[in-house]
């Protein structure tokens, strides 16, 4: 598969090189005026320092003021962009992917890149049109962490945040930071960190925090230490997952529901942006509070762009990204933790109590099946035809609306897979919906149900 994805760059390190990063730095830097500030960071992967260095060299060659932020979480790079009022920024990272993958996230201007801009970058490299060299480019190193801590404290100061919190950075970018920052902001919190040393090989824990099976040690520590709350970040620190005091890993929808409630009356006239994989219970909760809800294609850049253009108050993606209007539509895993802690304190409730007040949600996880590109198109076309009598959405793949739920099939942007997801009114109707959906899909339907059955058995 191509390293040029729908809204960023990501691929095996064997397909990447310092020369490519240098070229990307030149092309992106040439789109800005000479002397423009451009902060750059990188994650903990072993290849990230060399790639970050090459990208900075590219920026300097076209006359930019490149600010080397070093190794740090992605949200801190976007904070640096806001803090420095920079017209662009970039992060060398592959987020939650395995250590043999790397990539690049960036912003030039007011919006994240779209597919056309990603392909423009690709064409620039292929054609050798990388912008003219300009003099005056400089590099400076900056530790943005003091400014970030001060901003976090000013935003959330005043709360005690009492209780014992287990913090799991997963040896990623929040290692050595998250627990300390939380104790600074919430003076009554006791933070105990696990997997808290940077390791670009992620030998202690998978960097994908959205999968409960990767959080088993966190759950064990919660139970062993009788902790009140647990948090886990992904590799670059923008995603976050929660574990309550009963050792239950919250689904992304349960976390989103709690966050929706935290805005209260702010929803009157406010907009919620969510991806089509999200349970209908969450936009329904927003509407009950007086807000508007807009569905969007899955993907960080798509949700953030919609947040910016629609002036969204809050946004959520079931992968564990949570977006805020006050962050210029962006997301920040630690900011989300602070918001949850403050809301729990205001309500005088534990995370477990808030989770139990969430309406029951009956969705499947992503059911991933591998198919060649041509097969994927044929399967999606078949599903459109088979369910032509039902309302359908084409925002992201095809989502079919049934009287008792919905079914979604979409193409993965990172792997040769189709992702299937379903929601029903209860466990029985969910099983019935999946059975009806696969009825006329032959071998594909059989594979879908076998995957669904395995996932169901794993959750028992």
Q: What is the pLDDT of residues 113-137, one digit of tens each?
A: 999 999 999 999 999 888 788 989 9
187 within 8 A of 246, measured Cβ to Cβ: no
pLDDT of residue 64: 98
Provide the whole-model pTM.
0.95
- Taking alpha carbons only, the member of 426, 419, 404, 423 closest to residue 451 is 419
CB 235 within 8 A of CB 173: yes
∠ CA(64), CA(300), CA(43), 5° rounding?
55
Alpha helix (H) residue ranges in 128-251 = 145-156, 178-185, 216-225
Report the DSSP beta bridge partners of residue 368: 419
Q: What is the pLDDT at residue 33?
A: 96
Q: In what order do the strands lie in the sheet with 65-71?
A: 9-12, 101-108, 88-92, 37-42, 65-71, 138-141
The yes-or-no answer on residue 127 being catalytic is no
Enumerate the β-bridge partners of residue 407.
400, 422
Order of strands, edge to edge, in the sheet holding 321-324?
A: 292-296, 271-275, 314-317, 321-324
pLDDT at 272: 98
Choosing from 23, 30, 48, 95, the catalytic residue is 95
Strand 292-296 relative to strand 271-275, pairing: parallel
Q: What is the pLDDT along the chain (460 residues), one digit of tens a residue?
A: 799 998 999 999 999 999 999 999 999 999 999 999 999 999 999 999 999 999 999 999 999 999 999 999 999 999 999 999 999 999 999 999 999 999 999 999 999 999 999 999 999 999 988 878 898 999 999 999 999 999 999 999 877 777 999 999 999 999 999 999 999 999 889 999 999 999 999 999 999 999 999 999 999 999 999 999 999 999 999 999 999 999 999 999 999 999 999 999 999 999 999 999 999 999 999 999 999 999 999 889 999 999 999 999 999 999 999 999 999 999 999 999 999 999 999 999 999 999 999 999 999 999 999 998 789 999 999 999 999 999 999 888 999 999 999 999 998 876 789 999 999 999 999 999 999 999 989 999 999 999 998 887 665 5
Contact 222, 30 (CB under 8 A): no
Q: Identify the structural domains of the chain with CATH numbers, from first to last.
A: 9-143 (3.40.120.10), 147-244 (3.40.120.10), 252-357 (3.40.120.10), 362-459 (3.30.310.50)
Mutual orientation of helices 115-127 and 18-29 as an angle, nearest 10°?
110
């Amino acid at each position: 598969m191509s390293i040029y994805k729908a809204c960023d760059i990501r691929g095996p390190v064997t397909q990447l090189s310092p020369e490519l990063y240098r070229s990307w730095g030149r092309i992106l830097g040439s789109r800005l005026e000479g002397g423009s500030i451009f902060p750059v960071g990188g994650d903990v992967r072993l290849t990230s320092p060399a790639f970050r260095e090459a990208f900075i060299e590219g920026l300097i060659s076209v006359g930019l003021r490149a600010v080397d932020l070093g190794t740090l979480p992605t949200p801190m790079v976007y904070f640096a962009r806001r803090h420095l009022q920079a017209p662009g920024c970039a992060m060398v990272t592959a987020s939650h992917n395995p250590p043999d993958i790397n990539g690049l996230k960036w912003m030039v201007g007011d919006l994240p890149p779209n597919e056309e801009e990603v392909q423009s970058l690709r064409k620039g490299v292929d054609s050798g049109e990388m912008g003219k060299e300009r003099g005056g480019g400089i590099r400076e190193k900056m530790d943005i962490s003091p400014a970030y801590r001060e901003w976090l404290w000013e935003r959330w100061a005043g709360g005690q945040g009492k209780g014992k919190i287990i913090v799991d950075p997963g040896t990623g970018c929040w290692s050595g930071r998250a627990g300390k920052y939380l104790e600074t902001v919430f003076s009554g919190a006791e933070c105990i960190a696990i997997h808290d040393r940077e390791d670009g090989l992620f030998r202690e824990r998978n960097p994908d925090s959205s999968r409960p099976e990767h959080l088993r040690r966190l759950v064990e520590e919660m139970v062993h230490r009788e902790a009140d709350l647990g948090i886990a970040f992904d590799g670059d620190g923008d995603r976050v997952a929660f574990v309550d005091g009963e050792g239950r890993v919250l689904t992304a929808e349960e976390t989103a529901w709690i966050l929706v409630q935290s805005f209260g009356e702010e929803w009157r006239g406010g907009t919620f942006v969510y991806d089509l994989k999200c349970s209908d219970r969450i936009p329904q909760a927003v509407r009950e509070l007086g807000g508007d809800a807009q569905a969007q294609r899955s993907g960080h850049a798509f949700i953030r762009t919609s947040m910016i253009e629609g002036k969204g108050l809050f946004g959520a993606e079931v992968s564990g990204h949570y977006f805020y209007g006050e962050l210029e539509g962006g997301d920040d895993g630690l900011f989300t933790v602070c918001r949850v802690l403050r809301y729990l304190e205001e309500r005088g409730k534990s995370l477990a109590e808030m989770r139990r007040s969430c309406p029951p949600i009956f969705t499947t996880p992503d059911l991933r099946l591998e198919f060649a590109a041509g097969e994927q198109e044929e399967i999606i076309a078949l599903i459109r035809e088979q369910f032509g009598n039902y309302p359908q959405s084409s925002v992201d793949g095809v989502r079919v609306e049934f009287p008792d739920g919905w079914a979604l099939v979409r193409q993965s942007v990172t792997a040769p897979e189709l992702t299937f997801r379903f929601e029903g009114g209860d466990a029985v109707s969910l099983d019935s919906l999946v059975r009806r959906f696969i009825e006329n899909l032959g071998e594909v339907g059989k594979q879908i149900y076998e995957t669904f059955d395995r996932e169901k058995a794993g959750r028992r």
